[in-house]
């Protein structure tokens, strides 16, 4: 069902608050209950499998309205892009383990804090060699990982692992922040060996490493659409104690010949793994969401390199061997790479209670797969999709569509669907839809320009899903915004002036291909999306039935609209949600500066907190002792679309 309209809901909460104040004589809020479960948050997704669920219930749907700021930590690592560093984004999700909170910044500094006060315990500075990057990507670090050596006499027994913009994997002593001397060279392992010659800004780590058993698994960002021979998308596993290379997954098709040293290292142009990984310690598996092969928007010259592209791939963590692979898009030319962390779950009544994996995609599709085999738990249909791309292109005649749950994002945008503030901007949008090629989802990029809806930001992006294993419900936040995707013949593209294009307008050369890429948001002449609102959503899905339980609007036009009248139309969002046993879904992510709490059962927005910057990160929560409070923490520091900042902000119920 649909939730109550946001304006009405806020009015109800205000009235409820006034009545409560009258009944209690304006006394202090109810103190937190000093009972119930305790728990930390030892991985970015809380579990290795990225469930993003907490069993904590001190904060619940009936008292969430009393949350207040408990502490704020400022790292000082902020750049607006005008100095000697690229603009920063603060997308980190902290971890809490062994009574310490750890997080990283866009400058790859790692902080250890007291999780209940925000006081610093130590800080590590990698002293980056490069902080000025080209392209649209901000400086960011989405998190760190933790590992404890079972040998009690080990040097650096508890370790924090982090990846850097300088393409290094670093191991730190969790107690002191000092590099572990027995790991690599002075605590560092270089990640550029064998990936090809590339400037710093074309290849580096943004998402956290993942430690499964005693293997540190790491991928890397590879800049989109720059050239055919882009750096390799190799994924590697390193020994957590020594930093020695244990294995490398070079994602070439299985029929390709073995590549020896004479081959110059790993294969260029292969799909990379830039987003968050998931692991199954018991089964010894690591699950990787893959990107696109190069060139991103023209598949005819990939020579089969997209065999593992836009897929979820399960690797044996001991050897790096492929156990299974499931492809979410065939011959992807839309930048529909798998951006979301796979989420591992096992729930009675879902797929016969099998060990399972949920993979959200930018198309608004959620595939439920058997964790051991990669086989869909429910039917996936291969449906015909539009054909006839640019000259020379070879497209897949069909694409996979899940049926349980069905697609969660509209699959088409017609002229009659367009939205506007007035008939003027509605008419402008309708004209644009008639002008460009527009045949629904999977319309291929074209010379005249094609409507791509969902756009390449999603649907779901790296924030992924949260799953409540007790309710059997999956929660996913998505963006709804279209783009115009156009291929430009090489001679014409080479005559364009890249300096004349300002983000969010984009030009990509795809050097070595017969076309370059022009991409721009599908906006009206008033600057608003042409597709109808909501432009951001939060959706709850019953995993047993596959049915949508509710869909709520996520975000407003505040902090983006150039006028003081803000609309509850939803907003583009990057970052994810978490869900707690207290029945609250916490999510920031939007282009407005709020952290929100939604009723997990109804979708009603029951709490909002104004942040100093946009919270384009996934929050987390913990309660460490029976006599302590439960905290909810989010990194508020902006993204490319908003003011950069550095406010790691913690909320809790008032002290007694």
Cα dihedral: 443, 445, 451, 457 (round 10): 100
Cα–Cα distance, 534 to 553 (Å, whole number):
6
Q: What whole-number distance in Å separates Cα of residue 156 and Cα of residue 173?
A: 5
Per-residue tokens: 630: 């439960």
What order of strands is seen across the sheet that includes strand 506-508?
450-452, 483-489, 515-521, 506-508
Which helix (H) or strand (E) segment holds residue 519: the answer is strand 515-521
542 catalytic? Reply is: no
Residues 6+ positions from 295 with CB-CB distance below 8 Å: 225, 227, 228, 269, 301, 302, 510, 512, 513
226: alpha, beta or left, given left = phi > 0 and alpha = psi -120 to 50? alpha
Angle (nearest 5°) at CA 624 between 622 and 625 = 140
Cα 492 to Cα 515: distance, rounded to the nearest angstrom: 9
Do residues 542 and 472 lie in contact, with contact meaning Cβ atoms separated by under 8 Å? yes
Q: Of how many residues is the chain composed? A: 656
Interacting residues of 443 by C-beta distance below 8 A, sequence separation 6+? 386, 437, 450, 451, 452
Task: Read off the tokens for 495.
Answer: 């005559």
Q: Which of 335, 425, 568, 599 is catalytic?
A: 335
Q: Which helix (H) or strand (E) holds 430?
A: helix 423-435
- Residues designated as active site: 335
């Amino acid at each position: 069902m649909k939730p109550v309209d946001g304006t009405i809901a806020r009015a109800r909460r205000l009235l409820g608050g006034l009545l409560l104040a009258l009944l209690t004589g304006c006394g202090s809020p109810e103190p937190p209950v000093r009972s119930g479960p305790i728990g930390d948050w030892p991985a970015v997704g809380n579990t290795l499998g990225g469930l993003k669920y907490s069993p904590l219930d001190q904060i619940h749907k009936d008292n969430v309205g009393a949350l207040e700021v408990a502490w704020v930590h400022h790292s000082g690592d902020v750049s607006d892009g005008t100095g000697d560093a690229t603009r920063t984004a603060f997308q980190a999700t902290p971890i809490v383990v062994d009574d310490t909170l750890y997080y990283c910044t866009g400058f790859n500094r790692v902080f250890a804090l007291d999780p209940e006060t925000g006081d610093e315990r130590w800080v590590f500075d990698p002293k980056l060699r490069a902080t000025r990057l080209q392209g649209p990507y901000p400086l960011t670090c989405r998190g760190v990982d933790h590992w404890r050596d079972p040998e009690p006499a080990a040097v650096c027994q508890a370790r924090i692992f982090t990846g850097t913009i300088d393409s290094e994997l670093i191991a730190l002593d969790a107690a002191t922040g000092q590099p572990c001397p027995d790991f690599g060279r002075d605590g560092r392992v270089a990640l550029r060996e064998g990936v090809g010659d590339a400037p710093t800004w074309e290849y580096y780590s943004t998402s956290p490493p993942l430690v499964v058993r005693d293997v540190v698994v790491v991928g890397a960002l590879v800049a989109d659409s720059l050239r055919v021979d882009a750096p390799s998308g190799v994924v590697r596993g390193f020994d957590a104690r020594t930093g020695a290379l244990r294995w490398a997954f070079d994602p070439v098709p299985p029929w390709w010949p073995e590549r020896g040293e004479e081959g110059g290292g790993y294969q260029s142009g292969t799909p990379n793994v830039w987003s968050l990984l998931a692991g199954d310690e018991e089964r010894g598996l690591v699950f990787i969401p893959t990107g696109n092969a190069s060139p991103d928007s023209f598949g005819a010259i990939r020579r089969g390199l997209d065999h593992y592209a836009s897929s979820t791939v399960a690797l044996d963590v001991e050897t790096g061997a492929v156990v299974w692979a499931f492809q979410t898009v065939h011959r992807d030319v839309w930048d529909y790479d798998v951006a979301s962390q796979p989420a591992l779950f096992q729930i009675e009544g879902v797929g016969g209670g099998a060990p399972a994996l949920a993979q959200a995609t930018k198309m608004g599709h959620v595939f439920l797969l058997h964790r051991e085999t990669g086989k869909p738990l429910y039917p996936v249909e291969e449906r015909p999709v539009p054909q006839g791309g640019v000259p020379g292109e070879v497209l897949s005649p069909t694409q996979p569509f899940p049926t349980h749950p069905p697609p969660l994002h509209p699959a088409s945008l017609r002229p009659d669907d367009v939205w506007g503030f007035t008939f003027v901007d509605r008419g402008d949008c309708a004209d644009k839809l008639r002008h460009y090629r527009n045949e629904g989802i999977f319309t291929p990029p074209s010379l005249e320009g094609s409507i791509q809806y969902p756009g390449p930001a999603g649907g779901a992006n790296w924030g992924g899903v949260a799953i409540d294993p007790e309710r059997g419900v999956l929660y996913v936040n998505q963006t709804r915004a279209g783009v115009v995707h156009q291929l430009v013949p090489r001679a014409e593209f080479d005559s364009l002036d890249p300096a004349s294009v300002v983000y969010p307008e984009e030009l990509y050369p795809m050097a070595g291909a017969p076309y370059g890429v022009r991409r721009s948001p599908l906006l009206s002449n008033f600057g608003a999306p042409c597709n109808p609102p909501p432009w951001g959503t939060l959706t709850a899905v019953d995993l047993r039935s596959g049915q949508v339980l509710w869909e709520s609007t996520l975000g407003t036009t505040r902090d983006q609209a150039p006028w003081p009248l803000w609309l509850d139309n939803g907003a583009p969002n990057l970052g994810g949600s978490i869900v707690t046993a207290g029945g609250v879904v916490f999510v920031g992510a939007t282009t407005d500066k709020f952290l929100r709490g939604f009723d997990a059962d109804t979708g009603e927005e029951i709490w909002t907190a104004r942040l100093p910057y946009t919270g384009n990160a996934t929050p987390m929560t913990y309660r460490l002792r029976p006599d302590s409070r439960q905290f909810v923490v989010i990194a508020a520091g902006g993204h490319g679309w908003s003011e950069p900042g550095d406010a790691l902000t913690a909320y809790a119920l008032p002290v007694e």
